[in-house]
Amino acid sequence: MRAMVYRGPYRIRVEEKDRPAIEHPNDAIVRVTRAAICGSDLHLYHGMMPDTRVGHTFGHEFVGVVDEIGPSVQNLSVGDRVMVPFNIYCGSCYFCARGLYSNCHNVNPNATAVGGIYGYSHTCGGYDGGQAEYVRVPFADIGPSPIPAWMDDDDAVLLTDALATGYFGAQLGDIAEGDTVVVFGAGPVGLFAAKSAWLMGAGRVIVIDHLEYRLEKAREFAQAETRNFAEYDDIVVEMKKTTDHLGADVAIDAVGAEADGNLLQHVTAAKLKLQGGSPIALNWAIDSVRKGGTVSVMGAYGPMFSAVKFGDALNKGLTLRMNQCPVKRQWPRLFEHVRNGYLKPSDLVTHRIPLEHIADGYHIFSAKLDGCIKPLIVPAA
Amino acid sequence: MPYTAQKPPAKESSEQLRARIPGWGADLDPADRPSVPKEQFDPNLSGAHWDFPERQPEERPRERSIEHEFLTPVFGTSCPTHGVSGAIRRFSYAKYSEGRAAHWLLLLAADRVDALGSTLRSFATLRPDNPITQTGIRTEFTHHGLQSRRGQKRVDLVHQPLDVIVVAGPWVAAGLGAYAAYRKLSRAGRRRR
């Protein structure tokens, strides 16, 4: 089969690989019909994530058709059109039994601090991902779900991570009616978080980025106010001024490990790999939110330490909430929101790229060319 | 104003927001939010029909965190460890917990060794690594590379030249090294003749 493979920092190619096989009785093999490149894939692509091996296939956002099932699979049949959460999880461990699917303890031998994620290095379990023609899906009775007949693949693929994560991020903010919510990052997760904040009753939503085309999308798609932090000497001061010096009630970090806005932080994290991530957006969130407020962290960070301003978080009495999203928990409610027209995930898709040209897709997305917000990968194009 | 007790007045009322934003307030009640509360104990919810999953066969020794009691019942089998990078990785997993910086720094070092070794090995194949096609750099010309940057207040433009050094630097250094080695060898050959 054809599959994207990592060759080293900033280098990928498409290769012929063996079609995945059933390795466990509850495995399924899924033929991928649509995949996506996630902003967090760029951390792998840039060589930031420890134990990212040459030959690894990325891709944790994908949908497809069941091509083969293991002998213990009961809930799926060959030919089913399925969406697969980015989390790999057993459904039965201490954490899964409490709904913490992203924290499963039975799927990742390489680390206890993170669960299993498709195509996200050996630090996340060493599973090949969905930027390929076929993918092995462990625990086929637990994670995957049939795609509702009324939903198209472009919407479904964004429910496997980006939309679910943005929606989850807004929930972690504990938004109350009339709250001011500031979202750092106007990528797909940030835009979905901003949109979701309205569903939870926010009174004001402000999105911050430095890419004007993404801020335009925030105004149009998420009906949010926007600020381009590059236009301000200090975005934290602007956040204070625009909230009558109170600060936002809730701040959401939807940027993560490669945040920009402070050269020292960015270079030490993203280029020199001396931090688990560049916590610029997180520090701005801590400083922009009001005392007693809540910071929700959706941006992905690596396992190393990062220079986070915990002193300010302590002194302000903040609540810091974060996790990888337990995707499937979000789906029933999100299906309603999509069906009601409150959310249209595929509105954020800007590029559809054949698998054979995936190296181009990564560069376009990484370098923020051509107004790119969300690139989809089409294996059979 | 934070200097007095009342919250600043809202810019828009809930009624105005409900009229302007489709779905505004649909999840106002925390009971409608699927991840509230964070932990919801229900061992039957996921559909698992096992207490502990059947074990995936360990076809070859599989490295694992020393914070785990045993190899997890299911695991990825992509890219088994091999060569020098594999030795570094296995040492890191065997020696250091996830709490130690040495663990992660060794794994990052192994990643670089792996990338270098794989690139060198690729030159002995029919499909050597090609930094032009593998970086997708051609899209700078096909997808408005200049236009996407010109006139923009993008703060990443300051450090994007570093990407060129990170990507092209090793290739340029390797090229210069190969050229120097070639010249040295050819000079030595001429002297012998």
Q: Residue A185 and residue A277: Cα distance in Å, rounded? A: 15
| A54-65 pLDDT tens trace | 999 999 999 999
First to last CA, chain B: 89
Q: Is A366 exposed, middle or buried (0-12, 13-18, 19+ CB in 10 A)?
A: buried
Contacts of A113 in chain B (CB under 8 A): 98
| B44-54 pLDDT tens trace | 889 999 999 99
State yes or no: pLDDT of A380 exceeds 80: no
* % of chain A with per-residue pLDDT over 90: 98
pLDDT at B161: 87
Search chain B and give the residue with CA nearest A274: B105
Contacts of B98 in chain A (CB under 8 A): 111-113, 303
| A316-329 pLDDT tens trace | 999 999 999 999 99
DSSP label at B67?
T
Interchain CB contact of B18 with A (< 8 Å): no
Q: A138-147, B16-25, B171-180: lowest mean pLDDT where?
A: B171-180
B12 with A123: Cβ contact below 8 A: no
pLDDT at A185: 98
Q: What is the CATH number of domain A2-161+326-378?
A: 3.90.180.10
State yes or no: pLDDT of A263 exceeds 80: yes
Q: Summarize the confidence of residues B33-59 as an average pLDDT.
A: 96
Q: Are A296 and A251 in contact (CB under 8 A)?
A: yes
Mutate to test the interface with B, among A103, A110, A243, A288 (most CBs of B within 10 A): A110
Q: What phi and psi, each to the nearest 5 degrees, are found at residue A88?
A: -100, 125
pLDDT at A376: 98
Q: Is the complex ipTM higher than 0.85?
A: yes
Q: Summarize the confidence of residues B7-19 as an average pLDDT.
A: 95
Q: A213-222, A259-268, A333-342: lowest mean pLDDT where?
A: A259-268
Residue A40 neighbours by CB under 8 Å, 6+ apart: A60, A120, A256, A257, A300
A 10 A CB-CB count for A112 gives: 18
- Residue A352 confidence class, pLDDT cut points 50, 70, 90: very high
B23 with A199: Cβ contact below 8 A: yes
Q: Summarize the confidence of residues A345-349 as an average pLDDT.
A: 98
B155 with A126: Cβ contact below 8 A: no
pLDDT at A104: 98
Q: Summarize the confidence of residues A200-219 as an average pLDDT.
A: 98
Residue with tokens 């996830």: B98
- Residue B167 confidence class, pLDDT cut points 50, 70, 90: confident
Interchain CB contact of B164 with A (< 8 Å): no
- Nearest CB among A25, A303, A342 relative to B23 is that of A342
Q: Residue A159 and residue A311: Cα distance in Å, rounded? A: 36
Search chain B and give the residue with CA nearest A174: B30
pLDDT at A155: 98
C-alpha dihedral over A12, A15, A19, A25, to 10 degrees?
-20
A 10 A CB-CB count for A333 gives: 18
- Largest interatomic CA distance in chain A: 62
- Nearest CB among B40, B67, B134 relative to A7 is that of B134
A211 with B76: Cβ contact below 8 A: no
- Nearest CB among B32, B46, B133 relative to A142 is that of B46
- Residue B178 confidence class, pLDDT cut points 50, 70, 90: confident
B111 with A361: Cβ contact below 8 A: no
From residue B157, how far is each of A11, A235, A261, A268 by CA, in Å? 20, 19, 11, 16
Q: Residue A50 and residue B111: Cα distance in Å, rounded? A: 7
Coil, strand or helix at A29: strand
pLDDT at A255: 97
- Residue A135 confidence class, pLDDT cut points 50, 70, 90: very high
Q: Are B145 and A367 in contact (CB under 8 A)?
A: yes
Whether a cis peptide bond, with omega within 30° of 0, leads into A9 is: no
- Residue B171 confidence class, pLDDT cut points 50, 70, 90: confident
Residue A84: strand pairing partners: A62
- Nearest CB among A106, A290, A369 relative to B143 is that of A369
Q: Residue A109 and residue A116: Cα distance in Å, rounded? A: 9
Residue A181: strand pairing partners: A205, A250
A98 with B140: Cβ contact below 8 A: no
State yes or no: pLDDT of A381 exceeds 80: no
Q: Which fold has domain A162-322?
A: Rossmann fold (3.40.50)
- Nearest CB among A8, A100, A210 relative to B115 is that of A8
- Largest interatomic CA distance in chain B: 94
pLDDT at B170: 82
Q: Summarize the confidence of residues B99-108 as an average pLDDT.
A: 97
Domain ranges of chain A: 2-161+326-378, 162-322
Helices (H) and strands (E) in chain A, counts: 11, 17
pLDDT at A89: 98
